[in-house]
Amino acid sequence: MCAIIGVLGEKLPSEGQFKKARDIMTHRGPDDAGIYYSLEEGVALGHRRLSIIDLSRDGHQPFISADGRFVLTYNGEIYNYLELKEELRGKYNFKTKTDIEVLLAAYVVWGEKCLERFNGMFAFALWDKKERKLFSARDRLGVKPFFYFSRKGVFYFSSEIKGLLALGAPRIPNEDIIFDYLSRGFYDHTEETFFKGIRSLRGGTALVWQRGAVRTKTFWDLAKAKPRHDGLDDKGIRGTFKEILADAIKIRFRSDVPVGINLSSGLDSNSLVYYSRKILNKDIATFSMRYPSEKYDEGGLIGGYLSEAQKKKWHTVTIKPRSVLNEAVSMNEIQDQPFGGMPTIVYAHLNKLAHKHKTTVLLEGQGMDELLAGYEYYRAEYEKDASGVPLFSHISAQKPLSQDLSVLIDTEVLNQKFLKRHTREVRLAFPFKSHLVNAQYRDIVYTKLPRVLRFNDHVSMAYGRELRLPYLDYRFVEFCFFLPVRYKINLTSQKVLMREVMGECLPDVVRARQKKAFGGVQGEWLRKYHKRAVYGLLRSASFKKREYWNHLALMRKADAFFAGEGENSFFLWQCINLELWFRKFID
């Protein structure tokens, strides 16, 4: 993984300013840096490298084709690059062992259709000198980021918003997204960001800039994907599930630097450990967070089913609740936008731990709950299908629910003038004839997955760690998502197929138990350790001038929360999160 940045148009920043903007993202690529800068062509492309595959200078970017026509800056991994390289032999003369050159060769040979052949996580920009055209794209699920904005015919892009700000992007708050966030709890659900005019290219989308004009085109849409289980009986479904999963994990071990696994007590990460042992025939480093409270700590559970050999490579870090809120300031700077609360903050410690133990690549179990309906609230959607509740082709965003089905949003704490000023609806497409499948689609395309991918990318890259997500291999996504409901959820179980298949491999204690819920820790820690700091923020002069809040109602609700009423702390986190963002980026 790396950082990419670029400017195209008649008025480029100075080469010195452009390098400074690139180097603001040195954390994403500490191993090397490069630049392609041409006033004549009206193009500046920059790159910071985190060396993962082929650690030699052959991987230096921007990468220029042998004939000099194409210039590529690229962030991510094409996991099937070896297979593609074989397919391209005889059609392209390879000079290096990098996946960078495979990406370039694929474009030279197949054009824009190369995107259909890539299996990976990527965001890249490829400059064609002859056509004076920039071709960019972001991977199907949007694992790797691509932010951009245009001004006066000049196009800017970057792996992180901080790179755009360093190039002069306006620091104007996007009131529409702030409204969606405060009134509905929605963010990262559209191309818009918290900065007005700065956009995030959606997953599965290509972008072309040519002569000042920008056009985008979707090259992958889960709703239009072809189900991969058609024609398979039960035995075939189970066999194909294991086959795709094993290969998705196997190709994510392609690396010239150490690979480890982020490990919880849950089924998903333990399945990664099982397959890693089977694929590599050895134990690899694992990393876990521990908590002072037995209520949340999983260390005893994990240690109970790891072998003695595995324990020798198991590394843990214990979170200190008293310091977490102070760390929100630095996390705010890492994320560039409001983010997902204390779980995101403590996640940084896991990446620090991997950095300490010199493990550059980390596998993680993100995505399985969305693919096989693992969240508890999916049960309500399953019951709607069973009882024949009518379907709609789309739905306006309702008050979102937490995993325990409690309402997260209370608009009484918001300024009524602010609410009346914004009347737009957030309309989410519901393209399937199932409440359950539409809820999964919502979480994958609009809500849970897009924001978690942004959070985790920015945190892992802040410490120079590459995060790989086997369950988001697009083949596995397409296979699991379209499976009949009986493989996802029934009257007594969820993630049914995963539990049944892995039951052949993992002990019952791992397969059957529910991972400890960490979401409730935020409210508990705010009450126990951070009451004074929260009131200090709510009473600060800068917070009081924000016109988003009904400050009297907000203080009443805060008083009730700290007196022990209710468990929902999301409204307080919205206050903290947005205020810190304003202080850092806007004020």
Active site residues: 2
- The one-character DSSP state at 446 is T
CB atoms under 10 Å from CB of 427, counted, come to 11
Distances (CA, A) of 474 to 8, 281, 336, 431: 31, 26, 28, 19
Alpha helices by DSSP H, listed for 463-503, are: 474-481, 496-502
Distances (CA, A) of 215 to 6, 137, 138, 218, 258: 17, 12, 14, 10, 39
Token pair 């134990």 is found at 283
Q: Are 260 and 362 in contact (CB under 8 A)?
A: yes
Tokens standing for residue 195: 């900065």
Task: Determine the longest span between alpha carbons in the chain, in angstroms.
Answer: 72
Q: Are 39 and 6 in contact (CB under 8 A)?
A: no
CB atoms under 10 Å from CB of 213, counted, come to 10
Provide the 3-class DSSP secondary structure of residue 37: strand
* DSSP code string of 137-202: EE-TT--S--EEEEETTEEEEESSHHHHHHTT----B-HHHHHHHHHH---SSSSB-SBTT-EEPP
Distances (CA, A) of 461 to 31, 306, 465, 565, 574: 13, 28, 5, 38, 24
Q: What's the CA gap between 440 and 252, in Å, rounded?
A: 25
Listed in sequence order, the residues at least 6 apart from 447 whose beta carbon sits closer than 8 Å to its beta carbon are 186, 189, 400
Q: Are 126 and 206 in contact (CB under 8 A)?
A: no
Q: What's the CA gap between 69 and 116, in Å, rounded?
A: 23
Q: What's the CA gap between 125 and 106, in Å, rounded?
A: 14
Q: What's the CA gap between 160 and 336, in Å, rounded?
A: 8
Q: Tell me: is residue 99 an annotated ligand-binding position.
A: yes
Token pair 């892995």 is found at 502
Known binding site for L-glutamine: residues? 99
